């Protein structure tokens, strides 16, 4: 079987990319989804706050996904759920399995990678101590709670102030659990400010910044308590600052990692800063005709931006199929002072329709600050912000004229005022 476009993943990124490619004129599109349902992680995000930018209303996760899923019916896009992609070759053969269709090799002219991300685990951050049950990543606990209908525990400590952890602090409190505290190793929160306000402050849940969990203790196979310590500027625990909490549950909300196993298997270049593919201005990877978007490319804060970025990727895939490969010299986009990554990492100025949008995250909290774009030592653009926070994705627009002045590479830096 052969398609103009195969989209891997039917979360918000995959859905938006497929629909956008359809609108741009592709007719033979397939979406492959490993779960039995479309919508991805949005299905377990039953809180509201989705779609404020895109639809100007507050939707729940399933409602937000529903808007796209509704559009799918009648679009002529082939949807294969319960289908796991095992690998993709460089010539775009997609190997996948499902109980219904067995092992298939699908041919594609273009591919959109939209596999999303996974959560960092206890193992990745190496919390010492016993290894009992009751230690969950926040998203797993969220799935048990919102999709399966089970509460993981009654006395909860949350490590990490990522958005899912904050949302779960509120959700578990509403279900009758006691959330003792949220503990964050960095001196600032990793989540959205509105979630700190609505999920912690509104429920009097203390937030301990510059603290971490230094030991997990168990009784009879289940977590019975943790030790929390203050950390120094190098994130090393400070002896003598230990606090003990008795709890039956530890939730981890300590970061998300783009799931790029398929991408790596295809030999596509990965950016160690985003843990996602290196992409051009149209979300194309260094393998022509293969695009990446959503959380598989870089971790987003709001789904609205995922949809927007993925529409760009879908449209670019359509353009690739209908008009042929993109060519032209590219300039590199580099992160300068105070910036942890930029996306896209490369811009082909000649391929730009209008302006290029550059997304990035800052390394720490800033008050009034200037975002400066430099080419060599020359400042080519400056943007002002009242505040910047690592938990929130920032973006700037650079016009084609401005970019055509750049030589070789541009650098995005932050200057506090």
Partner 1 sequence: MTDVIVIGCGVIGAALAYRLSQYKLKVLVLEKQNDVAMGATRANSAIIHAGFDPEPGTLMAKLNVQGSNMARTLCEKLSVPYLNNGALVLGFDKEEELTLNKLYERGIKNGVEGLSLLDGEQTRAMEPHVSREVTLSLYAPTSAIVDPWEYALAFAEVAKTNGVDFRFEQEVTAIEKTAFGYTVITRKGRYDTRFVVNCAGVASDTVHDMVAPKSFTIRPVRGDYCVLDKNENSKAHCTLFQCPSKSGKGVLVTPTVHGNLLVGPNAVPCEDKFRVNTTADGIDFVKRMALRSVPDVDFRSTIRSYAGMRANHDRDDFIIEFAAPAFLDIAGIKSPGLSAAPAIALEALKLLEGVGLPMERNPSATDERKKLRFRNMTVEERQRAISENPLYGRVICRCETVTEAEILGAIHSPLTPHSIDGIKRRAGSGMGRCQGGFCSPKIVELLARELGISPLEVLKDGAGSYILDSETKDGEKANEL
**Residues in the site for partner 1, rule: CB under 8 A?**
34, 82, 84, 86, 95, 97-103, 118-119, 121-124, 126, 128-134, 137, 139-140, 143-145, 147-154, 175-176, 214, 220-222, 237, 248-249, 261, 264
Compare residues 134 and 338 and give the one whose CB is closer to partner 1: 134
State the Cα–Cα distance between residues 314 and 22, nearest whole angstrom. Answer: 8
* Backbone dihedral angles phi then psi of residue 134, each to the nearest 5 degrees: 100, 0
Closest approach, Cβ 301 to partner 1, in A, equals: 20
Closest approach, Cβ 69 to partner 1, in A, equals: 21
Residue 256 · residue 118 · CB < 8 Å: yes
How far CA 69 is from CA of 49, 63, 120, 270, in Å, comes to 19, 10, 29, 30
Compare residues 278 and 414 and give the one whose CB is closer to partner 1: 278
Exposure class string for 331-350: b at 16+ Cβ within 10 A, else e: bebbbbebbebbbbbbbbbe
Strand, coil or helix: 393:
coil
Nearest Cα to Cα of residue 116 among 289, 298, 343, 270: 298
Closest approach, Cβ 273 to partner 1, in A, equals: 13
Lookup: tokens for 380: 């080519």
Closest approach, Cβ 131 to partner 1, in A, equals: 7
Closest approach, Cβ 246 to partner 1, in A, equals: 15
- Which residues on adjacent β-strands are paired with residue 384? 370
Residue 114 · residue 315 · CB < 8 Å: no
Closest approach, Cβ 223 to partner 1, in A, equals: 9
Compare residues 222 and 400 and give the one whose CB is closer to partner 1: 222
Give the position of tokens 């986009």: 333
Compare residues 274 and 375 and give the one whose CB is closer to partner 1: 274
Compare residues 168 and 403 and give the one whose CB is closer to partner 1: 168
339-343 and 356-362 beta bridge pairing: antiparallel
Compare residues 134 and 314 and give the one whose CB is closer to partner 1: 134
State the Cα–Cα distance between residues 163 and 141, nearest whole angstrom. Answer: 14
Residue 283 · residue 300 · CB < 8 Å: no
- 105-118-114-357 Cα dihedral, nearest 10 degrees: -150
Compare residues 210 and 229 and give the one whose CB is closer to partner 1: 229
Compare residues 52 and 86 and give the one whose CB is closer to partner 1: 86
Closest approach, Cβ 289 to partner 1, in A, equals: 24
Compare residues 35 and 304 and give the one whose CB is closer to partner 1: 35
Nearest Cα to Cα of residue 307 among 88, 71, 76: 71
Residue 32 · residue 85 · CB < 8 Å: yes
Nearest Cα to Cα of residue 11 among 395, 274, 317, 297: 297
Closest approach, Cβ 149 to partner 1, in A, equals: 4
Residue 335 · residue 411 · CB < 8 Å: yes
**Planar angle of CA 295, 312, 257, nearest 5 degrees:** 10
Closest approach, Cβ 351 to partner 1, in A, equals: 32
Compare residues 122 and 348 and give the one whose CB is closer to partner 1: 122
Compare residues 34 and 298 and give the one whose CB is closer to partner 1: 34
Closest approach, Cβ 319 to partner 1, in A, equals: 31
Nearest Cα to Cα of residue 13 among 40, 51, 43: 40
Closest approach, Cβ 49 to partner 1, in A, equals: 21
DSSP 231: B
Nearest Cα to Cα of residue 18 among 105, 81, 110, 92: 110
């Amino acid at each position: 079987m052969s398609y103009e476009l195969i989209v891997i993943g039917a979360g918000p990124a995959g859905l938006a990319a497929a629909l956008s490619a359809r609108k741009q004129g592709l007719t033979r599109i397939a979406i492959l989804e490993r779960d039995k349902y479309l919508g991805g992680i949005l299905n377990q995000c039953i809180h509201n706050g989705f779609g404020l930018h895109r639809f100007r209303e507050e939707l729940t996760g399933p409602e937000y996904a529903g808007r796209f899923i509704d559009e799918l019916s009648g679009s002529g896009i082939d949807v294969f759920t319960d289908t796991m992609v095992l690998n993709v070759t460089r010539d775009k053969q997609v190997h996948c399995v499902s109980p219904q269709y067995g092992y298939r090799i699908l041919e594609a002219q273009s591919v959109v990678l939209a596999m999303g991300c996974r959560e960092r685990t206890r193992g990745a951050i190496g919390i010492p101590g016993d290894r009992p049950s009751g230690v969950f990543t926040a998203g797993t606990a969220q799935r048990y709670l919102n999709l399966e209908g089970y509460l993981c525990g009654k006395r909860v400590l949350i490590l990490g102030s990522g958005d899912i952890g904050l949302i779960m602090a509120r959700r578990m409190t509403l279900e009758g659990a006691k959330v003792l505290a949220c503990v964050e190793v960095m001196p600032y929160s990793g989540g959205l400010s509105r979630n700190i306000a609505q999920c912690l402050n509104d429920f009097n849940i203390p937030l301990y910044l510059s603290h971490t969990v230094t030991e997990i203790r168990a009784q009879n196979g289940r977590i019975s308590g943790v030790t929390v310590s203050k950390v120094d500027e190098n994130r090393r625990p400070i002896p003598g600052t230990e606090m003990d909490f008795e709890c039956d549950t530890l939730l981890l909300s300590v970061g998300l990692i783009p799931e790029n196993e398929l991408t790596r298997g295809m030999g596509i270049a990965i950016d160690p800063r985003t843990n996602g593919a290196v992409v051009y201005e149209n979300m194309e990877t260094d393998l022509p005709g293969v695009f990446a978007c959503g959380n598989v490319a870089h971790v987003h804060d709001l789904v609205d931006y995922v949809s927007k970025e993925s529409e760009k990727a879908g449209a670019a895939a359509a353009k690739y199929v209908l008009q042929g490969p993109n060519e032209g010299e590219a300039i590199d986009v580099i992160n300068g002072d105070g910036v942890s990554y930029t996306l896209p990492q490369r811009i082909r100025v000649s391929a730009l329709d209008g302006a290029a949008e550059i997304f990035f995250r800052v390394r720490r909290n800033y008050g009034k600050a200037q975002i400066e774009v430099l080419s060599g030592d020359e400042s080519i653009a400056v943007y002002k912000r009242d505040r910047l926070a690592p938990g929130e994705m920032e973006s700037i627009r650079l016009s084609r004229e401005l970019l055509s002045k750049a030589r070789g590479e541009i650098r995005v830096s932050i200057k506090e005022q």
